[in-house]
Amino acid sequence: MHYTKWILTLAFVSLLQQCSFTQQKNPINKTEQMDSTKKNNPVYSNTDSSKVALTEEEWKKILSPDVFYIARLKGTERPWTSKFENFKETGTYYCAACGNALFKSDTKFESGCGWPSFYEPISKSSIIYTPDHTHGMERTEVQCGRCKAHLGHVFDDGPPPTGLRYCINGVILDFEKAKEAEKKYTEKPVE
Ligand SMILES: [Zn+2]
């Protein structure tokens, strides 16, 4: 009888150990990762508009692997995977590689294409347009106007007033809530 109890206790203890081991192995929280990326990124700024020109090696050191893959290797994230795809908060979208302001939330629309879509960039200089002939298609690549990170492509099947659809990888976007809008919301008297 005592022996069985002992076995059970042992099994229970080893189960506990397994649980705590699994918890330790859990991947680091995504937000923490993003924050530490920004801390290690000396060129990241929402206000500095001077051009950024780093070597690919330097970028590799300061960007997270996800952002590096999109920004520098012109990768494409899988459709429907971005948290910004169905995101409706009011604010500004910045380049995740350098902090350059790219789009305002009021130009975002639901395109149904699986990637965050906008009809107009925040300013003419916020984006660079480059012809892209890869994959047997004639497309226009859009890059960050400050650091030349690959953002996505622009198509001419968007809604008015521009008729354009900027189809952007969510990985390369950082979002900041509009401070004014937030203030208005919190100041609104409770009815
Ligand atoms: Zn950039």
Catalytic choice (95, 98, 147, 167): 167
| pLDDT tens readout for residues 149-188 | 999 999 999 999 999 999 999 999 999 998 765 666 666 6
Question: How many angstroms separate the alpha carbon of residue 138 from the centre of ligand 1?
Answer: 24
Residue partners of 99: CB distance under 8 A and separation at least 6:
43, 44, 45, 46, 48, 174
167 is an active site residue: yes
pLDDT at 183: 65
> What distance lies between CA 115 and its chain's CA centroid?
11
What pLDDT is recorded for position 132? 96
Which pLDDT score, from 0 to 100, does residue 175 have? Answer: 96
**How far away, in angstroms, is 5 Cα from ligand 1 center?**
63
Residues 13, 113: Cα–Cα separation, whole Å: 50
Report the C-alpha gap between 79 and 56 in whole angstroms. 26
CATH of domain 30-187: 2.170.150.20
Phi, psi of 186 (to 5 degrees): -75, -25
Alpha helix segments (H runs only) across the chain:
2-25, 30-39, 56-62, 65-71, 179-187
**Residues around the ion ligand 1 (C-beta < 5 A):** 95, 97-98, 100, 144, 146-147, 149
Tens place of pLDDT per residue across the chain (191 aa): 455 565 555 554 444 444 444 444 444 444 444 454 577 899 999 999 899 999 999 999 999 999 999 999 999 999 999 999 999 999 999 999 999 999 999 999 999 999 999 999 999 999 999 999 999 999 999 999 999 999 999 999 999 999 999 999 999 999 999 876 566 666 666 55
Question: What's the CA-to-centroid distance between 148 and ligand 1, angstroms?
Answer: 6
pLDDT on residue 3: 57
Q: Distance, CA 154 to ligand 1 centroid (Å)?
A: 17
